[in-house]
Structure 1
Amino acid sequence: MTISTDANLPADLAALAGLPFAKGHGTGNDFILVADPDGAYGISPAAVAALCDRHRGIGADGLIRAIRSEQLPEGRALLAAAPDAEWFMDYRNADGSVSEMCGNGVRVFVHFLADQGLVELAEGQSLTIGTRAGIKVVSRSANGYAVDMGPWTFIFPDHAVAKSMDSVVHADGLEVPRPALSISMGNPHTVVALAELGELAATKLYEAPQVEPLPEHGTNVEFVVPADPLVVDGAGSITMRVHERGVGETQSCGTGACAAAAAIRYWAGKGAPDDWQVAVPGGVVRVRFLPGQDGPEHVELSGPAVLVARGTLA
């Protein structure tokens, strides 16, 4: 497959001519992936937006550049603590804006590294990588990849602990504003619990929901329906839709699934399970809460990663 530029696309896209790419997804959350180990290509926000355009470009929820950590200031800062983090996931949203982290994207990123022969990662082995949300450790399994996402935190901790809710969300399709909880997974999320699947389906996510107060760098918004019963055989189950910051509604959001499980688990209170199944339009991911080593608990996200196409920008 060859993708050609034309006069309607940004001039700086021409500088990427000849660059190979792959297209991949994790439960429908899809990405363009390029290998640029030594940082030879300057990929501008306009070029990213053009490539991710679903009508005039390749089409994707975001673009991931595989670059050696030593080539970026953010990566070099991480190498001091984690010298084995050779590779950095340089992730951009579909509008070209920089994002801290993507839970589905990090699985696809590691799968891409292995596919390109940039790393060797057999089943059962782990790889340490750099992201703008810090170091992440990704393990390969028979069914995909599991990622230690690190700890989750409240974005507005004083309000959350006092009231269980810290935000209000307005969304088209919901008759009244809904209370919500804002959670950081290295990137910001605001989680809204709904009563039933019909209400979830009626929520329109063509435009970004309005969140008050809005986290400093914007937020992703998850609308979640807990299963009834919530827990079966020791595992919780929820269904989610998401509007991603800088993208729009997507088929899945890995960090969003983690935030949604964290919020429902918090609301459920003492005795809530540590193991969760999160159904999204693109499939199902698993979220587990693991004891931290002399610190806060960590969140593990697991699910599939698939490459569906390869090509060259021309």
Structure 2
Amino acid sequence: MNDTLEETPAHAHQGLSGLEFSKGHGTGNDFVLIADPAGTWPVGPEQVVELCDRHRGIGGDGLIRAVPSRFLPEGRDLLAQHPDAEWFMDYRNGDGSLSEMCGNGVRVFVHFLIAQGLVRLDDGAALTIGTRGGVKVIVRSGSGYAVDMGPWEFIFPEDAAARAMDSLVSASGLEVARPALSVSMGNPHTVVALAELSELEATQLFTAPHVDPTPPNGTNVEFVVPSEPLVHDGVGTITMRVHERGVGETQSCGTGACAAAVAIRHWAGEGAPNAWNVTVPGGVVGVKFFPGPDGREHVELSGPAVIVASGTLS
């Protein structure tokens, strides 16, 4: 399969008995979290599958290990340019595969760091962390967090002349394949616009939709219905469901919400707003577009993060 990142050589597996963990979620996108400040608890793909199993494990869409950046090759590379990125979000999908980035996960990750006493972050203050999708800056805002997700880009830039669509997506419950647009938010997404909420409800995401052509590392697929009217008080509103690469359908996907807003705003044309509310099965997240410090357009994702339980593995 070619839908996940190639892994760097893993450390030797070790038993996880006695390891403390937490369970958290961002708008229903849920994660098992472990703190590894000494870099002594490498978790392999088989262990992630066991821990994320919803019947025989703790259950989660993925597992996040909070580890100092200096203990990972990817983290050390980031530290060379961003010495303030002390912590790294070592994230795996529920099937054990490595993933570049998770927008909901990064909020929960920072909330977990605070809850564990590993960092202090006052309201309005910012924290820089490392991910496989690059460095991310997170600002605490009351009960939630806003994340500069970095710049977005089209995955198939050769289609720049006609970016209305670059692929076709087939899914159970949809009678015909639908045109789609593929967007990178540090990880790959393919966005499909649907006309009615009834179509969205009828789409079955038990199995992965078929995308042609498929981006090189596979793709997450978002099915989106624009509201009518699309814009109210200067804010665009859309409703979304998502099939996440390596996971299946999830209650929410932060990078997917950003990609969906990118595509719908692009299709809406000139005058489309820079602020969006994205409704997912697990709640609502906010997406904003703004000029980044690198001269490119960046995307901000905002929303809640919740720790629901903590325990010790037996």
Same fold (TM over 0.5): yes
Report the equivalent of 2:310.
310
Corresponding residue for residue 69 of structure 1: 69
Greater alpha carbon shift after TM alignment, 183-192 vs 155-164? 155-164
- Aligned equivalents of 2:305, 2:268: Cα separation in 1: 31
The offset of 1:293, in angstroms, is: 2.7
Which residue is equivalent to 1:249?
A: 249
Q: Is the contact made by 1:192 and 1:221 (CA closer than 8 Å) also made in structure 2? A: yes
Shift of 1:263: 0.3
Residue 206 of structure 1: SS of its match in structure 2?
coil
Residue 8 of structure 1 corresponds to which residue in structure 2? none
Partner of 1:6: none
2:201 alignment partner, SS class: helix
Alignment TM-score, normalising by the size of structure 1: 0.95
Match of 1:145 in 2: 145
**Structure 1 equivalent of residue 3 of structure 2:** none
CA distance in 2, matches of 1:59, 1:220: 20
Q: Secondary structure at the match of 2:124?
A: coil
Q: CA offsets per residue over residues 158-200 of structure 1, 9 Å max, x none?
A: 2254241001001000000000000000000000000000000
In structure 2, the residue matched to 1:28 is 28
Length-normalised TM-score, structure 2 = 0.95
Kept in 2: contact 1:170–1:210 (CA 8 A): yes
Q: Quick one: distance in 2 between partners of 1:81 and 1:182?
A: 29
Tell me which residue corresponds to 1:81.
81
In structure 1, distance between residues paired with 2:143 and 2:66: 23
Once the two structures are TM-superposed, the CA of residue 251 in structure 1 deviates from its matched residue by: 0.1
Shift of residue 138, structure 1, vs aligned partner? 0.3
2:265 match: 265
Alpha-carbon deviations, 1:258-283, whole Å to 9, x = none?
A: 00000000001111000000000000
Give per-residue Cα distances to partners, 1:57-97, cap 9 Å, x unaligned.
11000000000000000000000111010000000000000
Amino acid at match of 2:150: G
> Which aligned pairs between 1:1-314 and structure 2 lie closer than 5 A?
15-314=15-314
Q: CA deviation at 1:143?
A: 3.1
Instruction: Check conservation: 1:160, 1:166, Cα contact below 8 A.
Output: no
Give per-residue Cα distances to partners, 1:265-313, cap 9 Å, x unaligned. 0001111000000000000000000112351110000000000000001
Code of the aligned partner of 1:225 = V
1:279 & 1:163 partners in 2: Cα distance? 25
Deviation, structure 1 residue 39: 1.6
Q: Would you say how many aligned residue pairs link Structure 1 and Structure 2? A: 303
Structure 2 counterpart of 1:146, one-letter code: A
Give, in whole Å, the separation in 2 of the partners of 1:190 and 1:112.
30
Alpha-carbon distance in 2 for matches of 1:38, 1:288: 36
Distance 1:83 1:216, change over 3 A: same
Separation in 2, partners of 1:183, 1:161: 15
Mark the runs of 5 or more structure 2 residues left unpaired by the alignment: 1-11
Superposition RMSD in Å:
1.1
Greater mean alpha carbon deviation, residues 34-43 or residues 80-89: 34-43
3-state secondary structure, aligned to 1:101: coil
Runs of 4+ with deviation above 6 angstroms: none
